[in-house]
Amino acid sequence: MYFEDNRTVTLQRKFGILGQSAGVQSMLETIEQVAPTDISVLIAGESGSGKELVASALHKHSRRSHKPFVIVNCGAIPAGIIESELFGHKKGAFTGAGSDRKGYFQAADGGTIFLDEIGETPLETQVKLLRVLEQGEFLPVGSSSSMKVDVRIVAASNRNLEKEVDTGSFRKDLFYRLKAITITVPSLRDRRDDIPVLANKFANDCAIRNQILFKGFSEGALKVMSQHRWPGNIRELKNFIESMVILEKGGVIKTEVIYRYLNAESSPTELNPLLPVKLDRNVDQAERELILQQLFMLRREIAEMKGLIDQNLVPRPTGESNGEEYHPALEVLPDDHSNEIHSDDSPTILNPQMLGTLTAAQVEKELITRSLERFNFNKRKTAQALQMAERTLYRKIKEYEIVKEN
């Protein structure tokens, strides 16, 4: 349990960066030590991990906080004009230069400039960046006179700059000048314990901003999100949460809702890292494995729901409605100990242990057919039970020529 006087909590509030994981704690302590100084900082981390937030924290808690904080995405500027953008140019320096223009460095004078994706800059531009770092001056394009500037440089890259140095894509002298202080931002998959806190923060902020009622996440929903890989890191999680809160406004977001949205956005491998899809297998094996992954996720959710039922936390699926929800997949999939594919007097449809003896098409058709029968061909309920998009279900029904018997 963490208390209000916990040092990490204090640093979180100070810098606006949430997280109790070891990687985040180490990062916060480094920011606290480095922020008040003028030393240049290199921020390493994957795309979407929050490098700009770290750069902003460094500026806000420096002696330059009352001066400009200029953000430059070096990867978004074409190589032909990047020097003009960074250092400005003189009138007539090139075709179209009808007047003098200040660059980003001059705009950041007295403050901090954040050079995001610095690994994307051309080698000739890197020479000029090194000069700014070492001498505090630069030469505008088309000018014969250097300009002095008082700027703190914070740079970031999602590339391994050390490898870029080895391949000759990044200057060694600039790299060593920058890497004196390196802050590594951990990926979201390396700080899974922070995901529930981040998810609730993003959801509440979105609900307040858009005046939407948000009743929270179920424990199972938070668990599923914590197990997802989030290759796009915090940026992906934030966008995922905000879109879900807006579209699912008004209720508690439960496990099945998370699966539905993850299914729409992610590959099965990302959804379930416990069942990786190997590359060295034929198409039938691959399809069968993907279906098995789907069954695995449903079974995990069912086990969780059964536990809640046993604790009387959700109603038992008796068929009677009392205004509360139960998960429809509870009546679709077999128990773990069943060895039958299906029987006339049982809702059991498939046993994952038998998947190896069936083709992928047989497995999928049987799964869809029995689910449709269970829900009297209500396609929305069937799609929800199978964690499948409705348009995908319609396509599969047509593909397998599944019809309702009279």
Sheet strand arrangement including 69-73: 69-73, 112-116, 152-157, 41-44, 182-184
Indicate if the pLDDT at residue 15 is higher than 80: yes
Model confidence over 329-362: pLDDT tens digits? 333 333 333 333 333 333 333 444 444 455 667 7
pLDDT at residue number 130: 95
Q: What is the mean pLDDT of the segment spanning 169-190?
A: 94
Mean pLDDT of the chain: 78
Strand pairing partners for 69? 112
Side chain identity at 160, as an amino acid letter? N
pLDDT at residue number 358: 54
Model confidence over 37-91: pLDDT tens digits? 999 999 999 999 999 999 999 999 999 999 999 999 998 888 888 999 999 887 8
Question: What are the Cα distances from residue 77, in Å, to 117, 130, 151?
Answer: 11, 19, 20
pLDDT at residue number 42: 97
DSSP line for 175-243: HHHHTTSEEEPPPGGG-GGGHHHHHHHHHHHHHHHHT-----B-HHHHHHHHHS--TTHHHHHHHHHHH
Is the Cβ–Cβ distance between 284 and 306 less than 8 Å? Answer: no
Is the Cβ–Cβ distance between 112 and 154 less than 8 Å? Answer: yes
Q: Which of 5-14, 34-43, 171-180 has the lowest mean pLDDT?
A: 5-14
Indicate if the pLDDT at residue 278 is higher than 60: no
Q: Which residue is it, tokens 């038992």?
A: 316
Indicate if the pLDDT at residue 108 is higher than 50: yes
Q: What is the distance between the alpha carbons of residues 88 and 85, in angstroms, rounded to a whole number?
A: 6
Q: What is the distance between the alpha carbons of residues 115 and 285, in angstroms, rounded to a whole number?
A: 47
pLDDT at residue number 143: 82
Side chain identity at 173, as an amino acid letter? D
pLDDT at residue number 369: 86
Is the Cβ–Cβ distance between 374 and 299 less than 8 Å? Answer: no
Is the Cβ–Cβ distance between 141 and 93 less than 8 Å? Answer: yes
Is the Cβ–Cβ distance between 326 and 315 less than 8 Å? Answer: yes
Per the rule left: phi > 0, alpha: psi between -120 and 50, beta: everything else, 110 is left
Instruction: Grade residue 395 by pLDDT with cuts at 50, 70 and 90.
Output: confident
Instruction: Grade residue 273 by pLDDT with cuts at 50, 70 and 90.
Output: very low
Q: What is the mean pLDDT of the segment spanning 305-314?
A: 46
Q: What is the mean pLDDT of the segment spanning 313-339?
A: 39
Indicate if the pLDDT at residue 144 is higher than 50: yes
Pair of tokens at residue 381: 């309920």
Domain annotation for the chain: domains and CATH numbers: 7-186 (3.40.50.300)
3-state secondary structure of 343: strand
Kindly report the pTM of this predicted structure.
0.63
Indicate if the pLDDT at residue 294 is higher than 70: no
Q: What is the distance between the alpha carbons of residues 28 and 22, in angstroms, rounded to a whole number?
A: 10
Instruction: Grade residue 378 by pLDDT with cuts at 50, 70 and 90.
Output: confident
Specify the higher pLDDT residue, 18 or 306: 18
Is the Cβ–Cβ distance between 61 and 35 less than 8 Å? Answer: yes
Indicate if the pLDDT at residue 147 is higher than 70: yes
DSSP line for 239-265: HHHHHHHHHTTTS-B-HHHHHHHHHHH
Instruction: Grade residue 308 by pLDDT with cuts at 50, 70 and 90.
Output: very low
Q: What is the distance between the alpha carbons of residues 91 and 143, in angstroms, rounded to a whole number?
A: 9
Side chain identity at 164, as an amino acid letter? E
pLDDT at residue number 89: 86
Pair of tokens at residue 217: 């996440």
Model confidence over 221-266: pLDDT tens digits? 999 999 999 999 999 999 999 999 998 887 889 999 999 888 765 4
Cβ–Cβ contacts within 10 Å for residue 280, how many? 5
Q: What is the distance between the alpha carbons of residues 160 and 230, in angstroms, rounded to a whole number?
A: 20
Indicate if the pLDDT at residue 5 is higher than 90: no
Q: Which of 3-12, 41-50, 131-140 has the lowest mean pLDDT?
A: 3-12
Q: What is the mean pLDDT of the segment spanning 123-134?
A: 94
pLDDT at residue number 72: 95
DSSP line for 142-167: T-SS-EE---EEEEEESS-HHHHHHT
Q: Which residue is it, tokens 């994706």?
A: 117
Side chain identity at 306, as an amino acid letter? K
Distance of CA 107 to the CA centre of its chain: 32
Spatial CA neighbour of 50 closest among 85, 22, 82, 15: 15
Task: Give the 3-state secondary structure percentages of the chain, helix then strand then coil, rounded to 5.
Answer: 50, 10, 40
Model confidence over 154-168: pLDDT tens digits? 999 988 999 999 999
